[in-house]
Structure formats: structure tokens, C-alpha cells
Amino acid sequence: MRTARAWLSDTAGGLPGAFWYLWTGLLINRVGAFAMLFLPLYLADARQASDALAGLVVGAYGIGGVAGVLLGGVLADGWGRRSTLLWSHLAASVLMAGMAITTSLPAIALLAGLVGIAHSMPGPAFVAAIVDVVPADRRSRAFNLHFWAFNLGMAGASALAGLLAEASYLALFLVDAAATLATAVIIAWKVPETLAPATVRTTPAIRAGLRTPLTDRTFLAFVGLTFVLAVLSTQTSTVMPLAMRADGLSSSAYGLVVALGGALIVAGQLFVPRLIDGRRKHRVLAWATGLTAFGYGSLALADQLPGYLLAALVWTIGSMLAAPPNAEINAELAPPVLRGRYQAVFYLTFPAAAFVAPTIGGVSLQYLGDWHWLAVGAVGLIAVAGHLVTGPRRERRVAQLARTDAPVTSGPGRLTSTCPGPGGAASNA
């Protein structure tokens, strides 16, 4: 029987130390990112805000998130991954401490928008830095661990937030600020700058800003398919609670379904690389999207808790399989000097899905009833076909870019690319 150490070694795949410091920072960041989950309750209970006003403040946080993603991507490419990560975490820590002591609702709304910016800025820089330091043949494992840390951290955040909110909202915000500051300390202490030298940053591609990813048709086709998957996945937090209530199920039943998905990811995500390594990414994504579509489509037949739990099992497996190849493809299609910007455009699919899913899904559920879930499943199957059709062309482009990439040594222990094609990831010795 293999030892736990051997299994962990296979899972880690010889990943570099810089990755593990990034991973640790992300995990602490996610465990600590719980205060905003309770922002609506805080506004209603502690600040006596109306439901409408609370919604506007939470909306300010969401709008800030969209701006933060774009700003974080641009800064990650021009200013640096480390600088963007460090200063966004420091800013978030200060802003969160400010929210802890602020009593004015207009000031809280302003701070919520600024926190949304600061919370979203690190996303593109985190992923771009991982791509910089992890060799291409190990990125599947790196992104798998990245996805696992994100969900493990969120699970810990949900549990910790409930305890702190019952004790004190002041403690809720201050502990959040402290966890964010701890991430900043790890980055300042252990994470090097992974972006290529300044000579690479001044290329015409950098000066083109966001125009390059927004006119890259191959990349945008992939982003569109990811958006569809995000819309499907967002049904869990937007439309499904309404369907469960219509079926006479309690809030605790909904919590159990959500908890099942989180538990599956925490327990099983580390085994995913064994299932997908060596397989063509577009086929993995087709299977993953198909499972997700089947899971949500099957809710048309679910009217009791066991049916919802079985469906959640299926779509969670789909999400687990999709996470590593999604991140890998995004990295492969992004020129090294534009990784932050490509990540920013890619990350926009998630807030967009969070808007589209409830906006259209609520109307669909009201007028179509259970047929809504069949429509969701059908949309997912269209995305399956999209992956099968566009995948081979996308992979040919990645292979061509990899062949034309010519890495050269630009400093001690660092490799960069002389042309803006994927595959020239920086790697610190």
C-alpha cells in the first residue's frame, strides 16, 4: 500500500516553493474572507438598514468587484504580480478595519465598493503568478490544488463566520482584516516578483491594454463556453433555493445540498489529476459540462431532498473535473506579457453569470416551472457541442504558439520568452 507521503508527493507533483507560498496565502485569504458573506445581516441587524438599502450596499460591493478584476489584471501585467497582490491585500485589510468601526450608512456603502475592488484585484495576479512559476506539465496539478484551497477556505470561512457573527460583528470584520493582513505578510516575506523584466512590459502588446484579449476570437469562444458553465453552476445559489422552497423543502435542506457539494470538493478534488492527466482538455471539459448539465437538468424530476442530493453529486463532479483544464487553457492562450489581462477578462464570466442566472432564471422558473431545468440542461449540452467543435482548433493554436516560443535566460534562475506566446512562463530556481 502506498504511503500518505508518496500520495501527497504525486499530488503536489514537485511544485516549486513559490507556488506553495501563493497557495498558503490564497487559503488564508479565503478562510478570512467571510465578513462580506454576512454584510446584508450586518446592515439589517446592526445598522437598521432597510432591505432595499442593504441591497444597494451589497450591490456596490459587486460593482467594485467587476472594476477590481479589470484593474487587477492590468496592474498585474504592468506593475507586477507581487506588487498587485501585496498592496491589494494591504488595502483590503485597512478598508475592512474601517468597516468595523464605521456607523454611517453612506460611508459603509463607499467602503463596500472599495472593498469589492480590493477583494477582486488579487484574482488575476494569483493565477498569473502561478502560471509564471509552475512548469506547463505541472499546471494541471497546481490549478487543481488552487481550486481545492479556494473551496476549503470558503468552507472554513462559512463555519467561522457564523460563530463570529453571533459573538460580535466588530470581531467579524476585524478578524477578516487580520487574515487579509496575514496573507499580505506571506506575500511580502516569501513571494518573489514573477513577472518578466521591464523590457518585456513595454512591448506593443502591453500598450494595447485590454484590446488584445477582447479581440482574440479563439480566447473569447473559450470564455463564452466558460460563461455558460458558470451560469449553470450559479443556479445553485440563485434559482435552486426558490425551486426547493416551491417543493416544500426547508432552508436546512438547501444548506445540506450546498454542504454536500463543498464536502465532495474538499474530500475528492485532490484525486482529480489522476482522472484527467494525459487526456485532451476539450474532451475533459465536454464531459465535465455534460455532467453539470445532466445534474441540473435532472432537477426537473426532483421534488424531495434525495433527488436534489443526487443531482448535486453529479454536477459537483462536473465542476471538479472542469476546474483544472479551464485554468490551464486560459493560461495557454494568454501571451506571457498579457497574462493578467487575459485572466481579468476570463474572471468577468463569474460576476456576469451571477447577474444573468438570477435575472433570467427567476423569470424562467416562474413561467416554465420544472421545464426551466430542462432548458438549463439543454443550454449545457449546447456548450458540450461547443467544446467538441472548438477544442481541436484551440489546441492546434496552443501547440503552434508553444513551437514558436523561444525561451531565453534573462536573469539568475529565471526564464522568459522572447515572443508573446504561451509556454514561456517564468520559473524561479
Q: Angle of helix 169-190 relative to helix 139-167, nearest 10 degrees?
A: 150
Rounded mean pLDDT of 211-223?
Answer: 89
Report whether pLDDT(382) > 90: yes
Report whether pLDDT(396) > 90: no
Report whether pLDDT(192) > 70: yes
Fill in the amino acid letter for 186.
I
- What pLDDT sits at residue 405? 54
How far apart are alpha carbons 134 and 312 in whole angstroms? Answer: 32
Residues of the chain with CATH 1.20.1250.20: 16-195, 213-429
268-312, pLDDT tens digit by residue?
A: 888 888 888 888 999 999 999 999 999 999 999 988 999 999 999
User: Could you tell me which residue, 80 or 59, shows the higher pLDDT?
Assistant: 80
Q: Which residues of 387-401 are buried (b: 16+ CB within 10 A; e: fewer)?
A: beebbeebeebbeeb
Instruction: Provide CB contacts within 8 A for 406, sequence distance 6+.
Output: 417, 418, 419, 424
138-163, pLDDT tens digit by residue?
A: 888 888 888 888 878 777 776 676 66
- β-partners of residue 416 are 408
How far apart are alpha carbons 254 and 87 in whole angstroms? Answer: 38
- β-partners of residue 391 are none
Site of grid cell 461547443: 386
Rounded mean pLDDT of 219-242?
Answer: 88
Report whether pLDDT(208) > 60: no
Closest of 428, 394, 422, 429 to residue 406, by C-alpha: 422
Provide the percentage of residues in the chain whose pLDDT is more than 90: 31
- What pLDDT sits at residue 260? 84
Element (H, E) at 410: strand 407-411
- What pLDDT sits at residue 8? 47
- What pLDDT sits at residue 38? 73
Closest of 147, 354, 156 to residue 265, by C-alpha: 147
Site of grid cell 467579524: 172
User: pTM here?
Assistant: 0.72
Top CATH class of 213-429 equals: mainly alpha
Instruction: For residue 190, count other CB atoms closer than 10 A to its CB.
Output: 14
- β-partners of residue 96 are none
CATH 1.20.1330.10 fits 16-195, yes or no: no
pLDDT band at 206 (very low <50, low <70, confident <90, very high): low
Rounded mean pLDDT of 32-48?
Answer: 76
